[in-house]
Amino acid sequence: MLVLSDLVKSHDVFELGPINLTVEDEVVSVLGPSGGGKTTLLSAIAGISDINAGTVVLNDADLTESPPEKRGIVLVFQDGALFPHMTAWENINYAATSPERVDVLAETLEITAILGQKASTLSGGERQRVALARSIAADPAALLLDEPLANLDAPIRRRLRHELRDLLASLDIPVVYVTHDQHEASIIGDRLAVIESGTIHQLGTPTEVFMRPKTPFVASFTGSVNLFQARVDETALVWGDRRIECPAHEYDVDQDVWFCIRPEYVTIADDTTNTNVFLGRIERRVFQGDDYLVTVSPDGMDETVELKLAPLAYNQLQIETREQMHISFERDAIHIIENA
């Protein structure tokens, strides 16, 4: 178990923390934008840069004053630093507990074919995977990974996300997995921490964070692009001149709040007889490769709503040639965020 308490690290104008985070023998994904403080956090845990305050405790041992090489924590950098004159196999085997492990890891990470190659001749994505294999082969007490799949092409990245999920979970050590990709973070992490401006906005299971974001930032960064301001009424939300039925909540009447609904939960309706159904003008249709993103502007509103439609539904409903459509906000898919 890795315990970070009141961890603070300042750069010139940037401050990380105070971070309080406990990572059990599990994988915690840290999701956040570029410049959010992800690499700073990993360097602070690994002891690569001095911290300003706080403690790092691993399996009951206080490591705050220990040098990086004495911590038993391995950090795999974004660029996968390797010994350039050694082959990929030699790099992985360098600190490995058993040579057989090297071959098994190479198989899983799809680098068997390049094991004989000098590290200096490898591509960025290959280097990252060799560095990843090396770090796991070394049997660390905790593992910190900085965007390990970032340099890979989409198909292999998608395959490896699932392989890595199983591989990292099987290690039974605290793993902190940094990424700016929301899908990767939710596939790989048992829990997910969203970090921005050096602060952890929310920590929870991927479903909790995606379905019940605590801040507008978390909502938008995890893909809940339909984020609107509204006022709480006795039984509903008042959004512009509309009333939106929402799940039970504890907000006070007249309180200003945000509410959000993920684009995949906005549905198409036949007419406006039901609650939470709006007629709107279709502003934009974009084919995204696996689904369509349709932008609709509800009549009389300045705001737009995005919805995701499977290609089959898109075709059957003839969205391509329509000017208007009825959309519906499923009551239970509406999530309220405090307007802090």
Q: Residue 140: which of Mg ion, ligand ADP, none does it interact with, CB under 5 to 8 A by kind?
A: none
The residue among 38 and 127 lying less far from Mg ion, judged by its C-beta, is 38
Residues 253 and 262 sit within 8 Å (Cβ to Cβ): no
- On whether the CB atoms of residues 188 and 180 are closer than 8 A, the answer is no
CB of 156 to Mg ion, least distance (A): 21
User: Which residues contact Mg ion by CB under 5 A?
Assistant: 38-39
- Do residues 196 and 32 touch, judged by C-beta distance below 8 A? yes
32 binds, among ligand ADP, Mg ion, none (CB under 5 to 8 A by kind): ligand ADP
Binding site for ligand ADP (CB under 6 A): 11-12, 14, 32, 34-40
Nearer to Mg ion, 36 or 54 (CB): 36
Put residue 274 in one of left, alpha, beta given phi > 0 → left and psi -120 to 50 → alpha.
beta
Report the partner that residue 35 touches, choosing among Mg ion, ligand ADP, none (CB closer than 5 to 8 A by kind): ligand ADP
Residue nearest Mg ion (C-beta atom): 39
- Please name the amino acid found at residue 276: N
Omega of the bond leading into 18 within 30 degrees of 0 (cis): yes
If the CB atoms of residues 118 and 180 are measured against ligand ADP, the closer one turns out to be: 180
Nearer to ligand ADP, 128 or 328 (CB): 128
Strand runs labelled E in the chain: 2-10, 15-23, 27-31, 53-58, 61-62, 73-76, 142-146, 175-179, 191-196, 199-204, 226-232, 236-239, 242-245, 256-261, 266-269, 277-287, 292-298, 305-309, 324-329, 335-338
Which of the choices Mg ion, ligand ADP, none does residue 11 contact, using the CB cut-off of 5 to 8 A by kind?
Answer: ligand ADP
Partner whose binding site includes residue 40, from Mg ion, ligand ADP, none (CB under 5 to 8 Å by kind): ligand ADP
In whole angstroms, how close is the CB of 185 to Mg ion at the nearest point?
14
Pairing of strands 73-76, 236-239: unpaired
CB of 74 to ligand ADP, least distance (A): 18
- State the minimum distance, in angstroms, from the CB of residue 332 to Mg ion: 37
The least CB distance from residue 10 to ligand ADP, in Å, is 9
Separation CA 298–CA 325 (nearest Å): 9
DSSP 35: T
| Closest distance to ligand ADP from the beta carbon of 221 (Å) | 12
Nearer to ligand ADP by C-beta: 188 or 246?
188
Question: CA distances (Å), 332 to each of 206, 248, 328, 335, in order?
Answer: 18, 9, 12, 8
Q: How far is the CB of 195 from ligand ADP (least distance, A)?
A: 7
d(CA 23, CA 28): 7
Q: At 120, list the tokens.
A: 């200096």
| Residue with Cβ nearer ligand ADP (176 or 307) | 176
Binding partner of 50, given Mg ion, ligand ADP, none, CB within 5-8 angstroms per partner class: none
Residue 300 binds which of Mg ion, ligand ADP, none (CB < 5-8 A, kind-dependent): none
Smaller CB distance to Mg ion: residue 39 or 182?
39
CA distances, 337 to each of 36, 227, 253, 267 (Å):
22, 9, 15, 21
